[in-house]
A and B are shown apart, each in its own frame.
Chain A
Amino acid sequence: MTDFIKDPVVSLPDRMPEPVIPGDELFFTDEEKKQIETWVSRYPTADGAVMRVLWLAQEKFSFLPAEVVQLVANALDMPYAKVYGVATFYTQYFKEKKGKYVFDVCTCFSCQWCGGYDMLHYLEEKLRVHAGETTGDGLFTIQEAECLGACGSAPMLQITNGPYVHNLTREKIDALIDALREGNMPAFESVTLPQDEDELSGNRRTDVDKTTSSVTPPVSETVK
């Protein structure tokens, strides 16, 4: 967001883009259609299922170019413009091709204070790309993100709209990149709340094995 404050320019999307998904790949399988039907049946109108179906489309095609948005609109019998509006509203829907792993590094207040920018810059140097860009091998994309709701374990990042990596350090990032290069996605991890440790014997969740204890985050070197 900092760059946007310095240079607040909103660019115009490509209004007449060339299709990138070949026509013969652009469809939902019968199984997917059945799945869509179940989602649709949960809402009073088909429009209600649009976010879930966009998500399905993104998982299938890895991002949402115009023709995929059109496919979703057709599947739900919804106006194309409305689906496009939804797709552009949420940053988690990728409108352009991203790397296999997308790092959303939180630089919002709590993470910033605890070293969010240190982590972001370390990632940028390590992968030799700027935030918003994808590495040449198409493996990693780095993005700055606003608060992801894990201030207790700041600084943190999220991998491709999936698992969080909490209490980031440079060593943790090194290990993470190595693991991802080998195709090992980190497992979901929950962090306890400090007050829980005293009062609720450490955890109020049922999946204790996936939980780590809360630690007091350090104050970032850059803000010290």
Chain B
Amino acid sequence: MPKITIDNRIVEVEDGDTLLQSCLDEDLEIPHFCYHPAMSAPANCRQCLVEVGMPRVDRETRERVLDEDGNPVIDFMPKLQTSCSMKVADGMVVRSHRTSELVKRAQKDNLEFLLINHPLDCPICDQAGHCPLQNQTYKYGPEGSRFEFRKVMKPKNIELGPRVVLDGERCINCTRCTRFTQEISGSHQLTIIERGVRNYPMTPPGVVFDEPYSMNVIDICPVGALTSKDHRFKARIWEMSQTPSISTTNAKGSNCVYHVKDNLVMNVTARTNMDVNEFWLADEDRLDYRKFNENRPEGPAIGGQAADWDAAYAEAARLLQSTSGQRVFFLGSALSTTEDNYLLARLAEHLGADAPAYIPHIEAGHGDNWLRTDDRAPNTQGCERLGFSALDAEVLKSRLAGGDIDVLYVMEDDPVGEGLCELADLEGVKVIVHHHHTTNETLPAAAVAIPAAMAVETVGTFVNCDGHAQRLRPAKAIKGVNRTLAMEVGKSRADLHGTPFDRWYTESNMVDCEPGWVSIPAIAERVGLSLSYKGPRAIMAELSEDNPAFTGATYDAMGESGVRLDVTHQPDTHTQTA
């Protein structure tokens, strides 16, 4: 591996890497805008300039020339080099802005150029607060501008497509967005038009920027030129708490960050995980967050009448014990966590019922072999690995029609809404439902309705379609006191947590619900089964010990990037994606 000297520090770097990436890998910041590790380096922002020298080599002997002290003589290149396009070579000597006044000056002047036509509308710009241009100008830029002329006025508030809005004036023409459509998504829907001072990214005539990954350009835009139509002007970045978690729209489990303010999810952005989604996130994952905020239930109900939690648990336990276990039908859920499904299986086993089935959420033709899958549920693989089978609608219908079922226990799903049965089929059946939404169509038939925490409110594990087990972290608080959740909220938000603008502690937007690992043990206790775990962490620890399909999936091992589970235990009965 080549050894290079960066600012008098000798580091070993990967052969073939670019100088900029090597510096970033060493935690040495080099300011840059156009470079993105996943894409080609056009070297057009000119911000990553450094001084680069190579040891002088004797032309005859091909030996390095040494000076009087025995050190190699370094010949510096006559001009500054863009580190993003410079490949590392053994013996290379690099001076960045930390050691070179010249580089410092170049960065400052370059920023002055970039800002010549950049509007100073940071106070109303959505990017302000997490804007590379703003940050780097503070750090490396000049104190003011010497530009005396009118700034160029370019088209503003242009809807490139249904989800992305362009502000041409803010653009610094780094071409990250156009390269994304050319090199990553392949949609080729964007290009830089015009030239010189007039250029900006645009769709060609007759084309709408509507590809299913269009919103990634918002993440990679180093200025506020591309903003989300959905999130525009809704909240400033510093008003929201950011929680690293995973998306729930499909079986890929793309890593994302939930931005939450006052216990409302405001925005979802991509989080890097090279094993799952790399740097990207599908638009559907970003936009499907209203389900966490809207139509949420307010406390449990018995027979449609509001009840308190103890009464609801007691009623559920009474119903479960009112008949033989064989006449209780348990429905697990590909929408809820592995831990909750495991607890449900334990409860079913205790009562002598069959192992739970889960409702498949397959939407044929939706997947694209990238970050979207045919499977629209996040944890189908987790259910499969627990030994649950996909529910056959005919079996359920015939058992209901035959009067074989006295109690139907539905965890975090909606058999009526999914078309597996009709409300009429459920007449005479006592239905216990853990539900996410008041729009759940099974609710009218529910004898006991128990509000369930959603993926952004609970702690748990989802296993994605490739067998990658990943942790969910609570992004927003729910009503009631729960030590485990409270501690996890504090931990998951880590340093980012604690913005005074996020009033997460007020009850106004808290949902009165419980995670499955609270409500199921509460019911189990009342039917004589002790499921007293110290939270989901202990449940997963037990699963990873006892069940070979989950070997290694402890919370510590999963961390922020997850664990790839053993493929040999992947059930072959269920094909996941197209």
Contacts and interface: CB of A to CB of B under 8 A. Distances in A.
A10 B205 contact: no
A132 to B, nearest CB: 14
Contact of A16 (B168, B191, B205): B205
Interface stretch (A21-29, A77-85, A101-109, A215-223): A77-85
B486 interface: no
A70 B206 CA distance: 10
Instruction: Report which residue of B152, B197, B206 has the largest number of chain A beta carbons within 10 angstroms of its beta carbon.
Output: B206
Contact of A10 (B198, B204, B206): B198
A12 B166 CA distance: 12
Contact of A84 (B153, B168, B191, B198): B191
Nearest to A90: B195
Given A5-B149, A81-B207, A84-B204, A89 B195 contact: yes
Nearest to A19: B206
Contacts of A88: 193-195
A31 interface: no
Interface in A1-55: 5-17
A188 to B, nearest CB: 27
Interface size class on chain B is: 20 to 34
A24 B197 CA distance: 38
Nearest to B152: A8
B200 A8 contact: no
Contacts of B205: 13-17, 66, 69, 84
Nearest to B154: A10
Contacts, number: 76
A12 B154 CA distance: 8
A91 B182 CA distance: 24
A66 B191 contact: no
B105 interface: no
B151 interface: yes
Tell me what chain B mostly uses at the interface: helix, strand, loop, or mixed. Answer: loop
Contacts of A66: 204-206
A10 B152 contact: yes
Interface residues of A, number: 26
Given A85-B193, A88-B193, A69 B155 contact: no
A15 to B, nearest CB: 6
A80 B194 contact: no
Nearest to A17: B205
Interface string B115-155: 00000000000000000000000000000000001111111
Contacts of B203: 15, 81
A199 to B, nearest CB: 34
B189 interface: yes
A183 to B, nearest CB: 33
A13 B190 CA distance: 14
A16 B152 CA distance: 24
B98 to A, nearest CB: 38
B181 interface: yes
A90 B207 CA distance: 21
Contacts of B193: 13, 84-85, 88-89
B104 interface: no
B191 A85 contact: yes
Given A8-B151, A11-B155, A12-B158, A81 B188 contact: yes
A7 B152 CA distance: 8
5 contacts: A8-B150, A85-B178, A85-B191, A88-B193, A89-B194
Given A10-B153, A12-B155, A84-B205, 8 more contacts: A6-B150, A7-B150, A8-B197, A9-B153, A10-B198, A15-B202, A17-B205, A82-B182
Closest 4 CB pairs of A and B: A79-B188, A85-B191, A84-B204, A66-B205
